[in-house]
Structures are given as C-alpha cells and as structure tokens.
Amino acid sequence: MSPEFVKNNGVIADNSYIEWLSDVKRRFKSSQIKAAVRVNTEMLSFYWSIGRDIVALKAESKWGSGFFNQLSLDLKTAFPDETGFSYTNLKYMKCWYLFYYERITIRHQVGGEFHQQVADEFGQQLADLSKMPVIFGKIPWKHHVHIITKCESVDEAMFYIEKTANEGWSRSYLEDQVAKGLYDAQGSAITNFERTLPAPQNDLAQELLKDPYNFSSLTLSAKPPRKPSLNGRSKTFKNRWAWQHTNYKK
C-alpha cells in the first residue's frame, strides 16, 4: 500500500517527498514512544521511592492505621489533577517495593541464588533496591501491579517483565499468559532482554502512550490555594471601601 499524504495545489508530491514524509512520521512515532518510556520510568521511579520510604519508615506503625488515607488526602489536595494518589494505589506502591525487598532479603539470608539469567542481567540492580531496576520502566504501572499480585517469586516476576518488554504484551495478554502458567510451561527460561524501545504499532507501546497513571498533568507546582471568601467583616469592609471610593470620586 502506498504511503498516504494530503494532496494540495502547488505541491509536487513526488516519490522523494512521499519517502521523506514517511520518515518524518516514523521519527515522530519513535519520539512519542521515547517520551512515553521516559515519563513512565520517572513516574515508576517515584512510585518505587514512595514504597521504599513507607517500608523504611514503618509508616503505619509510626503514624497509625489511618496513614494511607491521610497521605492520599494530603497528596490529592496538593495535586488535584493527578490520578495516582488513591488509597489503593498508595498501598500498591508499598506492596510493589515490598514484593522484591522481602524476597530478596530472605534469599540473601538463606544463601539462595537467583535464576542464572536473572542474576546475569539484573543481579547488581536487585542487590541495591534503593533505586528501581531499569527494566521496570519499560512496562506500565498496571502491568507491575498484576505481576506482583499473581507471581510467587522474583524469578517469575522478572520472567513476565522481560516477556512483556521484549514482546510488547498488552495487560490483557499478560494476564492471560500468567493465568495459563507460561512461566512454568517454559521451564523458567528467560530470553536475553533486547534493550530497545517497543515498536510503535504494538500493544505495549499503545498502552504506554495512553497510561492514565503517567503523571496526569505535567505541572511543576501544586494548584494554588483558593482565595478565602469575603464573608462577615471582610465583606463589609469591601463594601464600605467601595462606597467611600465612589463618594470620593463624586
């Protein structure tokens, strides 16, 4: 099928123009994906840091059982346009970090080892959980949530993260493969991760572009507080000032 372009009078749309236009479109789509991955990575790194802090601070023990409700309220008030600060989502941030922290800590304590390919690819990153492993930024937040709620081990979780990033799985396809037990069926084999961006046409790329959790509004500051309403004496003062000003002009 020949490339599409809008015909316009006064333009000679020869093959060189059509080829160049196709290249521009391709580069634009590639830039979209790169931007989406960067935004996704930054957002997930932020979520990871929140989960890490909650675990390290023992927040619920320190500030009480209402901690998550309070944090949700405070963050929603400060950033009303964001969708990621619900009670449930904040709990998932903790669970996400804790999934890896608990399993890796226990594994170190008992002298266990990761699957060899996991150790080769991500051993150093998983050894230092102060920062989110780089590959986590390649897939959307809801994929991660599903993985930690359904997987039993770090090896299994990394298997599905790699498969998703490598093959461009949508969340529904990931859910289907987890339910079928693909990890067990393939003998825990993990393919070498190709550090490339998702192809613009695949399902993962589309979900990264449309992910509502990717910083709903990219603003640099919180919404300014509302001005206090002029009630009571303040309103009376305003009316009195307006009356005096009018009479003065007369």
pLDDT digit string, tens, across residues 175-218 = 999 999 999 998 555 554 444 545 555 677 677 777 666 655 45
The residue with tokens 């051993």 is 123
Question: What pLDDT, on the 0 to 100 scale, is given for residue 46?
Answer: 97
Q: For residue 7, is it within any domain? A: no
Low pLDDT (below 70) residues in the chain: 1-10, 107-128, 187-202, 205, 211-250
Q: For residue 28, is it within any domain? A: yes
Residue 136 belongs to what H/E stretch? none
Beta-carbon-side half-sphere exposure of residue 154 (alpha carbons within 13 Å): 28
Q: For residue 40, is it within any domain? A: yes
Beta-carbon-side half-sphere exposure of residue 218 (alpha carbons within 13 Å): 8
Q: Is the pTM of this model over 0.75?
A: no
Contacts of 221 by beta carbon, 8 Å cutoff, 6+ apart: none
Q: For residue 208, is it within any domain? A: yes
Instruction: Extract the tokens encoding 186.
Output: 């393939």
Q: For residue 110, is it within any domain? A: yes
Taking CA atoms, 228 is separated from 186, 231, 232, 235, 250, in Å, by 63, 9, 12, 11, 31
Number of domains in the chain: 1
Residue range of the domain that includes 163:
15-223
Q: For residue 8, is it within any domain? A: no
Question: What pLDDT, on the 0 to 100 scale, is given for residue 125?
Answer: 55
